[in-house]
Amino acid sequence: MNYEQALEYIHAVQWAGHKPGLSRTRTLLAALGDPQRQLRFVHIAGTNGKGSTAAMMASCLRKAGYRVGLYTSPFINRFNERIQVDGQQIGDQELVELVEKVRPAAETMTDVPTEFEIITALGMLYFAQRQCDVVVLEVGLGGTLDSTNVIDRPECAVITALGMDHVKELGPTLADIAAAKAGIIKEGCPVVSYGGVPEADAVIRRVAAEKHAQLTEVDFGRLQVDGGDLDRVTFDFDGLDRVRLPLIGSYQPRNAALAITALRVMREKGWNIPESAIRAGLETVQWAGRFELLRHQPAFVLDGSHNSHGMTATVQSLRDRFPGQKFVFLVSIMADKDVDKMLELLAPLAVRFVTVAAHTPRATPAQTLAEHIRRCGCTAEAAPTIEAGVKRAVELGGEGPVCALGTLYFSGDVRKAFAEQFPA
């Protein structure tokens, strides 16, 4: 088996016809010797900010001297990004060898595991093989029934900002969504919550109390953002002053405050995480595709916001970093998202839109999306490919800024096309 064949196998099994649940993942991991039982975890659920918070915590734990696994989704450029140890992606050959172990176990199962369940098993095996001290584990969808939730009690359960997304799978209210996310709270484990949504907070508090889990809610009253430019945003939080964070979205200091709070809770539980490691980890963190500046002048911003909750934060970042300016937006949006709400947020900042379709069956066709945008009173044109869309958006932008957003699923293609067409 080569690398391409390994990826083909991983991507072959989709969700269609599978009932949500943990039984397949448990069966598969048991056949592989339960590698997750050799590991300790930070488990992160939420609507927005999961990946950024995970990247920050992993970076800080590395600076504290731990060997750190990081499991995230989706990927931006290459599949291997999803499984990392100490900031290094799993190697192609290592992935092939793991697939060769997992595949026979999966193929003996009557109820065949899904793609995400297979990837979770690959990650657990790899992190155990590499003898990670701690794994920062990002939930795929929800929490309760997500395949990552097969782990025993984590060192810390972290719940990021909550909003309305995946309502079809998780339920129509914030309380339903919070209940799904709160499913990662295990008996007696420390919990750190972003908070700020009363309906959701009530659910998380109730579940934490039922599970005898110590709950800490982030005190954003202790966060002071001193300013930001196109390279860094500087903030103070609860005694940690003048932190220069290279993730420039206006929302990132709040994710950093969540990460700091969680790391301090872990320190109280015996983890050796000095403040110097937290500062160093935050100031060197890397996380592609989240309000990422691909070019300074004229500016080209790539952002992964893919729901109205995330779009609100992105729009605020655009206003903060580019005061008074308007954008050409390059957009792809999944068909199951609240397109009207997202457009309502973007329209006041838009000169015009260029639409493309990300390479996933869930993407709205570019022409359909352009027509929808025009019906909403904005100027829009469809591009036949992402490469053509990047070229056209930059053309239309001239000396003004361009922002590509709407889904993480086209971020890698946008970055690649931009780098090829406009080399530094």
Asked if the bond preceding 154 is cis, omega within 30° of 0, the reply is no
Task: Give pLDDT, residue 41.
Answer: 98
Helix (H) or strand (E) holding 23: helix 23-31
pLDDT in tens, 20-70: 899 999 999 999 999 999 999 999 999 889 999 999 999 999 999 999 999
Distance of alpha carbon 347 from alpha carbon 185, whole angstroms: 39
Q: Would you state the pLDDT for residue 163?
A: 79
- pLDDT computed for residue 308 by the predictor: 81
Q: What is the pLDDT, as a whole number, of residue 17? A: 60
pLDDT of residue 120: 97
For tokens 């079809």, what's the residue? 168
Say how far apart CA 241 and CA 323 lie, in whole Å: 26
Helices (H) and strands (E) in the chain, counts: 15, 17
Any long-range contacts for 174-180 (C-beta under 8 Å, 24+ apart)?
174/199, 174/200, 175/199, 175/200, 175/202, 175/203, 177/47, 178/203, 178/204, 179/144, 179/203, 179/207, 180/142, 180/143, 180/144, 180/145
Cα diameter, the chain: 60
Q: What is the pLDDT of residue 167?
A: 53
**φ, ψ dihedrals at 223, nearest 5°:** -100, 125
Question: In degrees, to the nearest 5, what angle opens at C-alpha 148 toward C-alphas 142 and 154?
Answer: 100
Give the per-residue pLDDT at 415.
94
DSSP letter string, 144-185: TTSGGGGS-S-SEEEE-B--S--HHHH-SSHHHHHHHHGGG-
What pLDDT does residue 142 have? 82
Amino acid letter for position 228: G
Q: What is the pLDDT of residues 90-111, one digit of tens each?
A: 999 999 999 999 999 999 999 9
For every one of its 424 residues, what pLDDT tens digit does the chain have, with 9 covering 90 and above?
Answer: 999 999 999 998 765 567 889 999 999 999 999 999 999 999 999 988 999 999 999 999 999 999 999 999 989 889 999 999 999 999 999 999 999 999 999 999 999 999 999 999 999 999 999 999 999 999 998 889 999 999 999 999 999 998 765 555 665 688 999 999 999 999 999 999 999 999 999 999 999 999 999 999 999 999 999 988 999 999 999 999 999 999 999 999 999 999 999 999 999 999 999 999 999 999 999 999 889 999 999 999 999 887 887 899 899 999 999 999 999 999 999 988 888 888 999 999 999 999 999 998 889 999 999 999 999 899 999 999 999 999 999 999 999 999 999 988 899 999 999 999 999 7
Return d(Cα 53, Cα 405) in angstroms, integer.
Answer: 20
